[in-house]
Amino acid sequence: MLKTFSKGGIHPPENKLSAGLGIETLPLPKNVTIPLSQHLGVPAKPVVNRGDEVKAGQIIAKGDGFVSANIHSSVSGKVTKIDTETDISGYKRPCIFIETAGDEWLDGIDKTDVLKTETSLSPEEIIAKVQESGIVGMGGATFPSHVKLSVPRGKKAEFLLINGVECEPYLTADHALMLAKGEEIMVGIRIMMKALKVNKAIIGIENNKSDAIEHLKAIAAKYNNIEVCPLKVKYPQGGEKQLIKAVLNREVPSGGLPVDIGAVVFNVGTVFAVYEAVQKNKPLVERIITVTGKELKKPSNFCVRIGTPVSAFIEAAGGMPENTGKIISGGPMMGKAVINASVPVIKGSSGILLLPPEESKRKEILPCIRCAKCVSVCPMGLEPYLLMPLSQNNMFDRLEENKVLDCIECGSCSFICPANRPLLDYIRLGKTSVGKIIRSRKSS
């Protein structure tokens, strides 16, 4: 009997069109647009000026404070301007524009594929290196990794969980990474275990990726403290709290952090980025991204530089299909439509999905029939049918009582609702307002 989380969950059609395909490297983009806010927390502050020559891997914006991340140039060339541009958030935000010239990397960065297994760095040095390299959670939440690696005083991490679940339909970036870079991921895990001072690491992978499970199991056999845990397919197993519940059968308390129950979770993409930063001295300037869609000629997994416009790799995947309704950044469940194809890829973009118009349109909203399907699928045990009207009517105190802040925004409720109600939209709205109220209460 395979493990999975107990509460709720759904089974959307998987549609993993690019599963099992290798990683292709895209030709260098002519221009890159690097947003200054690619992570949760304070936007980074630019340290280059217009007209400066930069090399790939050079720091171009410094993290502002602890919960922030450095940003590096992903190409070598000239900074043409620092201006606002619409990014994946849908708003104009400050970005650094670089015109590519050649592919010159900063000295000291190892670009080869040679595997380096041992590290002599101390835990503190590893965390400092991760911070310097601007690594953030690559699963999509983009939380700065050095913050997660620095376990708060008085708390102790027991387990390092590696998230190779990739429960979002369509996406295969993590799958491709696990197949291609298994050895590197193992070294990355050992580095992170050292930084966190834990003795046990578990990699959670859903069993629709049996080749990745076999591959990583074979490599993990060399290490006695790394284990691969196959999981039953269920969305949203890739959520941090759901993964902990599935693998360790522990529950993160409401309002708490995973480290409260001794677990720290990282995505496989993040682990690989940590490996590259610590062993190869290479900052986070590239990522694996899935470009997919039923109408797309050639769904693929690409290794792209941060800041590449989305249109560049839609072109590489066979061009934009004629009937495209929406371009989604991320997967179909938690992703977000972008406003045009020129928005740049950021550290947290795991996929680009092209949906045909008939699938992308929202359906007509009907009255709630009180079927409670949303309650039964909510992985956090919330009552979406109740939270939506509370949010509509600005009843923030009751929203707080009903634990709206526990919502992980997985979208299961909106997916299952037979009346097509925009449950998550309203819950998210209520969550933002309640979050603001709580913050102002704390500060006063």
Partner 1 sequence: MNQIIIYTIASLSILGAVSAIILYFVAQKFKVYEDPRIDEVEAALPSANCGGCGYAGCRNFAEALVKSDNFDGLFCPVGGNKTMEAIAKILGREAVAQDPLVAVLRCNGACEFRPKTTNYDGATTCAIEAALYGGDTGCQYGCLGHGDCVEVCNFDALHMDPVTGLPVVDDLKCTACGACVKACPRNLFELRKRQKKERKIYVACMNEDKGGLAKKYCAVACIGCAKCVKVCPYDAITMNNNLAFIDSEKCRLCRKCVTECPTNAIIEVGFPPRKEPQAEATVQAAQTENTSQDIVSAKKEDISTNLNKEE
Query: Where do contacts with partner 1 occur on this chain (CB under 8 A)?
Result: 84, 86, 89-92, 336-337, 339-340, 361-362, 365, 422, 425-426, 428-429, 432
Q: Where are the alpha helices (DSSP H) in 73-220?
A: 123-132, 145-149, 173-180, 182-196, 210-220
In the sheet where 59-62 sits, what is the strand order? Answer: 45-46, 59-62, 71-72
Give yes or no for a contact between 178 and 204, defined as CB atoms under 8 angstroms apart.
no
Q: Give whichever of 318 and 422 is closer to partner 1, judged by the CB atom.
A: 422
CB of 92 to partner 1, least distance (A): 6
CB of 91 to partner 1, least distance (A): 5
Q: Give whichever of 308 and 391 is closer to partner 1, judged by the CB atom.
A: 391
Q: Give whichever of 180 and 337 is closer to partner 1, judged by the CB atom.
A: 337
CB of 400 to partner 1, least distance (A): 17
Q: Give whichever of 323 and 432 is closer to partner 1, judged by the CB atom.
A: 432
The residue whose two tokens read 């006063």 is: 444
Give dist(CA 277, CA 165) in Å, integer.
Answer: 23
Q: Give whichever of 178 and 345 is closer to partner 1, judged by the CB atom.
A: 345
The conformation of residue 398, written as its DSSP 8-state character, comes to H
- 310 three-state secondary structure: helix
Going from the C-alpha of 243 to that of each of 4, 220, 229, 407, the distances in angstroms are 8, 19, 11, 15
Give yes or no for a contact between 325 and 357, defined as CB atoms under 8 angstroms apart.
yes
CB of 318 to partner 1, least distance (A): 24
Give yes or no for a contact between 61 and 74, defined as CB atoms under 8 angstroms apart.
no
Q: Give whichever of 15 and 86 is closer to partner 1, judged by the CB atom.
A: 86
CB of 333 to partner 1, least distance (A): 16
CB of 54 to partner 1, least distance (A): 25
Whether the CA torsion 439, 94, 352, 188 is positive or negative: it is: negative
